[in-house]
Chains A and B, each alone.
Chain A
């Protein structure tokens, strides 16, 4: 596939993987491999001193994959900024997936706090990838303050509902001068393909892969769907019409009328 660039860094894969909800670190590692992913997201939480085995992420080869820490759990800009600082200390790099989700039921991102945090983090030198509702105006404002991407949601996190925000994402893609990564709610490979056919630069998938019966196989299905969707986008979809247009010749029929 054609190269995908975020903040000057080149990637081949357009499928980002979230590491949550896998049944084991082995299943997670196999799925990341099968997805051909190069960017994997992680969260930051308090150390659980009663559970010595909670270092599930040791299964990820950090030479091979870019660990993209998120600020999940943050309800305000201040909390997201604090998490970003901790994430930078943990990874040694300044990339962050900015999430500010005060609403526990739909986990919808707070646009005002997200924009506020993004502006501060960009000034501090962070490469900011903000998770947002599919809002074209917010997307423009975020790219104007210098975020590296925008990451509009397809539908609520973990809901597997697919591209419920399609019309708004089309506008975001049309206006964007930073990569558009469709995040959250993609439940099937066909949903991912649809986003890529529309011209999304990449997609991020977690739940649909992690909770599949065979996560590695589902990861492969998503990988193929993303490649198919990207290829279709690049090489021009055929026009849609209301009436039928015969595919076979309309001459030389075996009849005499």
Chain B
């Protein structure tokens, strides 16, 4: 997914790659919530599952 990236990818890298504003997103990595302040320091490894959610309109 990050062919040009020699460094381990982080949650922040992934969001940048996808063009998603990290200020509005919550991430869950293998079922564990990653605090927004830790996006830049949480590395992603092969085989992990990441869930990205955000608020949408609702009643």
Contact surface of A with B, Cβ cutoff 8 Å: 18-22, 28, 41-47, 49, 52, 54-58, 67, 69-70, 72, 85-86, 89-90, 157-158, 184, 204, 206-207
Most buried by A among B51, B53, B54, B59: B59
A18: chain B residues at CB < 8 Å are 57-59
Interchain CB contact under 8 A, B59 and A52: no
Q: Please tell me if B30 contacts chain A, counting CB pairs below 8 Å.
A: no
A86: chain B residues at CB < 8 Å are 26, 28, 33, 53
B55: chain A residues at CB < 8 Å are 42-44, 57, 67, 69, 90
A19: chain B residues at CB < 8 Å are 57-59
Size category of the B interface is 20 to 34
A46, B24: Cα distance in complex, Å:
12
**Known contacts A58-B24, A85-B33; A90 and B59 CB within 8 A of each other:** no
Q: Please tell me if B20 contacts chain A, counting CB pairs below 8 Å.
A: yes
B24: chain A residues at CB < 8 Å are 55, 57-58
> Can you spell out 6 A-B residue pairs with CB atoms less than 8 angstroms apart?
A18-B57, A18-B58, A49-B52, A55-B21, A85-B33, A89-B35
CB closest residue in chain B, given A67: B55
